[in-house]
Amino acid sequence: MKPIIVGISGATGIAYGVRALAMLRELKIETHLVLSVGAKMTVNEVGMTTQQIESLATHVHHQENFGASIASGSFRTAGMMVMPCSMRTLAAVAQANPYNLLTRAADVTLKERRRLVLLARETPLNQAHIQNMLSATQMGAVIFPPVPALYSRPSSIEEMIDYTVMRVFDLFEIEAPVRLPRWSGMADLTRPRAVNM
């Protein structure tokens, strides 16, 4: 498996990027991590330090290091996951206007026609957000809002996060190290389960 770039930008949902890094490490897949300044401000969401998150990656690149390997298309990767993807990051990708290494790596991923998955984190959306999502999609990115799949009947927040990460891995043809229920037809819905409202 070629290396994977993991970008974590400054939006709520840093847990998705952290969990992806942990799973990729378990699978022994080489990772290249870029944490934006904004992301470093949200590490308290997962109760970890920046150093603890960085320790999950094979390689860590400073967001201002435009000389990093991942800033060049000649460095071959399987693609990039931006987990979560802020609206500022999305705008930079959609407008091909990279302002840091994270957005430069995303731009390179697109120009090399590699897989780019953006876990866009914002709600509600304004017209500019939607237009940027369309532009990024037209350039080849996959917009992947981390919407929970409630049909899987998650029993915890961790399981909901794992399910989303598993589905992102599907887009890279990576077999996630977790086994969670997948949709297998309407018959699954006949199983009773208590739901607290």
We report the CATH number of the domain holding residue 151 as 3.40.50.1950
Global confidence as pTM: 0.92
Mean pLDDT value across residues 119-133:
97
Residue 32 domain-assigned? yes
Question: Which of residues 123 and 187 earns the better pLDDT score?
Answer: 123
Question: Does any domain span residue 188?
Answer: no
Tokens of 11: 């939006």
* 78 located within any domain: yes
pLDDT band, residue 196 (cuts 50/70/90): low
CA angle 107, 88, 133 (to 5 degrees): 70
> For the chain, how many structural domains are there in total?
1
Q: How confident is the model at residue 97 (pLDDT cuts 50, 70, 90)?
A: very high
Residue 82 domain-assigned (yes or no): yes
Residue 6 resides in a domain: no
Q: Give mean pLDDT, residues 33-59.
A: 96
Q: What are phi and psi of 77, to 5 degrees?
A: -135, 170
Domain that holds residue 43: 13-183
**Predicted confidence band of residue 192 (pLDDT cuts 50, 70, 90):** low
| Three-state secondary-structure class, residue 37 | helix
Average pLDDT in the chain: 94
What is the DSSP secondary structure assignment for residue 63, as one 8-state letter? T
Which letter does DSSP use for residue 81 in this model? E
The CA-to-CA distance between both ends of the chain, in Å, stands at 43
Q: What's the whole-number mean pLDDT along residues 157-173?
A: 96
In the predicted structure, residue 193 carries a pLDDT above the cut 80: no
Confidence bin at 8 (pLDDT 50/70/90): very high
Kindly state whether residue 194 falls inside one of the protein's structural domains: no
Of the chain, the percentage scoring pLDDT greater than 70 comes to 94
* Residue 7 located in a structural domain: no
Please check whether residue 4 lies inside any domain of the structure. Answer: no
Q: Is 126 exposed, middle or buried (0-12, 13-18, 19+ CB in 10 A)?
A: exposed
